Amino acid sequence: MLKTEDAERSAPHATETPTDPTPASLEFSSVGLDPVLQRAVADQGYTTMTPIQAKAIPHVLAGRDIMGAAQTGTGKTAAFSLPLLHKMLRHENASMSPARHPVRALVIAPTRELADQVAANIKGYAAHSKLRVAVVYGGIDMKPQTLELKQGVEVLVATPGRLLDHIEAKNCVLNQVEYVVLDEADRMLDIGFLPDLQRILSYLPKQRQTLLFSATFSPEIKRLAESYLQNPLLVEVARPNATATNVEQRFYSVATDDKRHAVLKLLKDRELSQAIVFVNSKLGCARLARSFERDGLRTNALHGDKSQDERLKALDAFKAGSVDVLVATDVAARGLDIADLPAVFNFDVPFNAEDYVHRIGRTGRAGASGLAVTLVTREDARLIGDIEKLIKKKIELEPLELDDAPPPRAYRERSRSEAPRSEAPAAPRAAERSAPRRPPGDPFFDRPYEPNPSAGEPSWEKAAPPVPVRGLSPNIKPKKRVAALFGAKLPEPQQETETN
């Protein structure tokens, strides 16, 4: 027995084997969950466990550090939240003192929408217990979050930036954290999030249980993750980085200007009620949403430049069915659970191959079927090659025949501007557009001036009458004559002075 434990510690990470404690039954009661949690799960409508839940929950209950890799939409949130809630039930109490409710489980998510969704799921699982759950993320006022944290919470779901804000403001203390979960761990360990993640982990106790869950794990991410885990166990229920088998993946070769027309055609031909259209830029997201609105579709945009309130309203409207097409960037690519979403369109091929797996994972969730369409241009050859390497599957490009409907407005404008200049009628029209417009002329005012012979000599040519010279007033004294400067001669004395 001692030899087995030593060998287990020396291994960098373990992998699922047939001897692992996987339950024989897929009932939630078979893994030993508390009846309070089983009741909450039944209220959520879940009857049996998914493969990732059946394999991960026993190891989490045993206290092992886990790296869980499973396809999107397979219930990874319940796989880590249910066993952690079960272990924290021993700390539940009805006390109003915040000191009796310290943060014991910390769940870190990369996006605000995912953090809000994870917190909602955990609150549902803890509905029949006295455990408190809170969520903090950026884009909204910190005061309500601060008041909730000051009252004490056991489970805290957060995005990295806002969590650091609360730590620096002394709003939450993490020295009693026992469990740490990195949801969408490959994104959390990316170079953009890694500095903030390292700062957060420095505030946590070194003795803790760490869980990592994601749909994609590259070899580099696995090596990096092992430095934060203690003897981690790798739990995989499918081939690494595999896409869901119940999602139909189609790749169509189209021109850049025909992409919007292609989306409209596929929506009509497939009779799709709703769809998410993914683009790579925030500016392109807003422009495409306005274009779909002009085409008569109920459309909304979801990207990082929108306020958090606008993003949540757009997502809620799409889930409620009042929006037909949601044009989004990759902020909506990870973790979002939208029930019965029939299709996903990659209007732009993602720059990172891993994002392709997460994008198409928004459809075909919980065993349902879905459609994933990717529109490919000539410039996307390298990106398609990266996706092939990741999913280990040959991608076949299909042609797409568009209808004879009028092309998009941008395409018509471009075709008009690229018309050959040798055409005779085109040159005068260009000259007319460049010349300034003149108002209509009046023949009376446009003719030159002609003098009227009967009017005689013009008044401005007549000599002015002489102005009569009047003498000076007796009240005005004559000016005294003085010698000028620069050697001028003095005036001769008057005769009257000499006679005197």
- φ/ψ of 466, rounded to 5, equals -65, 145
Please, are residues 181 and 211 in contact by the beta-carbon 8 Å criterion?
Answer: yes
Report the range of poorest mean pLDDT among 77-81, 107-111, 470-474: 470-474
> For residue 385, what are its two tokens?
């090659």
Phi-psi region of 486 (alpha: psi -120 to 50; beta: other; left: phi over 0): left
Which runs of consecutive H residues, i.e. helices, occur in 89-237? 112-125, 142-150, 160-168, 185-188, 194-202, 219-226
Q: Which residues are bridge partners to 346 per DSSP?
A: 278, 374
Strand ranges across the sheet with 299-302: 299-302, 325-328, 275-278, 343-346, 370-376, 247-253, 397-399
* Residue % of the chain over a pLDDT of 70: 75
> For residue 296, what are its two tokens?
């008569």
Q: How far is 360 from 372, CA to CA, in rounded Å?
A: 6
Q: Which amino acid is at 175?
A: N
Q: How far is 205 from 175, CA to CA, in rounded Å?
A: 6
Q: What is the mean pLDDT of residues 305-314?
A: 85
Q: How far is 249 from 244, CA to CA, in rounded Å?
A: 10
Architecture of domain 247-405: 3-Layer(aba) Sandwich (3.40)
Q: Is 408 helix (H, G, I), strand (E, B) or coil?
A: coil
- The answer to whether domain 2-236 and domain 247-405 are alike in fold is yes
Domain 2-236 has CATH 3.30.2270.10: no
Q: Is 494 helix (H, G, I), strand (E, B) or coil?
A: coil
* pTM exceeds 0.75, yes or no: no
Q: Which amino acid is at 210?
A: T
- pLDDT tens sequence across 15-41: 443 345 555 567 777 888 899 999 999
Q: What is the pLDDT of residue 491?
A: 57
Q: What is the mean pLDDT of residues 152-159?
A: 94
Helix (H) or strand (E) holding 413, with range, is helix 409-417
Q: Which residue has the higher pLDDT, 178 or 436?
A: 178
Q: How far is 226 from 223, CA to CA, in rounded Å?
A: 5
Q: How far is 32 from 35, CA to CA, in rounded Å?
A: 9
Please, are residues 335 and 114 in contact by the beta-carbon 8 Å criterion?
Answer: yes
Handedness of CA 212, 218, 222, 225 (dihedral sign): negative
Q: Which amino acid is at 205?
A: P
DSSP letter at 375 equals E
Q: Is 185 helix (H, G, I), strand (E, B) or coil?
A: helix
Q: How far is 8 from 109, CA to CA, in rounded Å?
A: 30
Strand ranges across the sheet with 133-136: 14-15, 233-236, 66-69, 209-214, 179-183, 105-108, 155-158, 133-136
Does residue 74 carry a pLDDT above 70? yes
Handedness of CA 307, 309, 310, 315 (dihedral sign): positive
- pLDDT tens sequence across 429-477: 544 445 555 556 667 667 777 777 776 666 666 666 665 655 656 666 6
Any idea where the domains of the chain sit in the sequence?
A: 2-236, 247-405
Q: How far is 352 from 390, CA to CA, in rounded Å?
A: 10
Q: What is the mean pLDDT of residues 133-162?
A: 93
pLDDT-derived band at 345, boundaries 50, 70, 90:
very high
- pLDDT tens sequence across 235-253: 887 665 566 677 889 999 9
